[in-house]
A and B are shown apart, each in its own frame.
Chain A
Amino acid sequence: MKFSVLVNEGPYQHEASDSAYHFTKAALEKGHEIFRVFFYHDGVNNGTRLATPPQDDRNITQRWSALAEQHNLDLVVCVAAAQRRGIIDADEMKRHGKDANNIAPGFRISGLGQLIEAGIQADRLITFGD
């Protein structure tokens, strides 16, 4: 089956990002297709490479990046939600005159249309986080 995944909660405070990751990984391992993982609301905070959790804890962002590299997974962070919350890539940094960017490898910033497209293209859109 072809799935799209929507992540609406930030990492660590709630388990939604973990559940989304485990679902995505399990689906891929079972041979399903993940059309896209879309990060919205505080979910965009999954995409910062600057998070530094304790060594003995899972690193949620690095885990997404590794999964993306392994499976050529499309990880999309909503631009409007990201701008509000300070998740920024090199292009956005330049466009808004910021002095840094923090997007993690394997993530890209794009528009909400990518979420609608994910709903259209997939057999099922699965939401994590309320």
Chain B
Amino acid sequence: MTDETMLEEDGHSGGVVKKFLYVNRRAPYGSIYALESLEVVLIGAAFEQDVSLLFLDDGVFQLKKGQDTAMTDMKNFSPTYRALEMYDVEKLYADRESIEQRGLTEDDLIVPVEVLSRDEIKDLMAQQDVVLSF
């Protein structure tokens, strides 16, 4: 992420503020989507847009406490979710059904989230200008 940040100019949006929703649907490991989604969120934070993150389906596993990747030689990037607050990314949502189906509770999550029903998620998505799904 450092290379990227070095190359990146300061965010400039010409004063336009849009509602961006990042939908995270995949497990943290097994594919690169979760990690590269997080990279977009961090870079995007410089643009001072109205950002929300939604964790859906296996995406709720991204927030699971106690991730240990030592045996798989993968980078454990889960601490980064705790740093999102410093980037003013504060609106984190998770799908209730997805959490429950996977035998998780809010206490299992590494950061506080607002747990939403499917109906509430529908409304959240409808409010957005840009939806990026990873």
**A and B held together in a complex:** yes
Interface residues on A, range: 20 to 34
**Contact assessment for B4 and A80 in the assembled complex, using a CB-CB cutoff below 8 Å:** yes
| In the complex with contacts A116-B11, A116-B47, A119-B130, A111-B40 CB distance below 8 A | no
Q: Considering only CB atoms and an 8 Å cut-off, how many residues of chain B contact the other chain?
A: 28
Given A79-B7, A127-B133, A113 contacting B18 (CB threshold 8 A):
no
Contact B8 A115 (CB under 8 A): no
Q: Assuming the A-B contacts A112-B43, A113-B46, A113-B47, are A119 and B18 also in contact, with contact meaning beta carbons closer than 8 angstroms in the complex?
A: yes
Q: Within 8 Å of chain B (Cβ to Cβ): is A108?
A: no
Chain B contacts to A: CB under 8 angstroms = 1, 3-4, 7-9, 11-14, 16, 18, 20, 32-33, 36, 39-40, 43-44, 46-47, 49, 129-130, 132-134
Residues of B within 8 A of A6 (CB): 132
Question: Which residues of A does B touch, CB under 8 Å?
Answer: 6, 8, 40-41, 79-81, 83-84, 110-113, 115-117, 119-121, 125, 127, 130
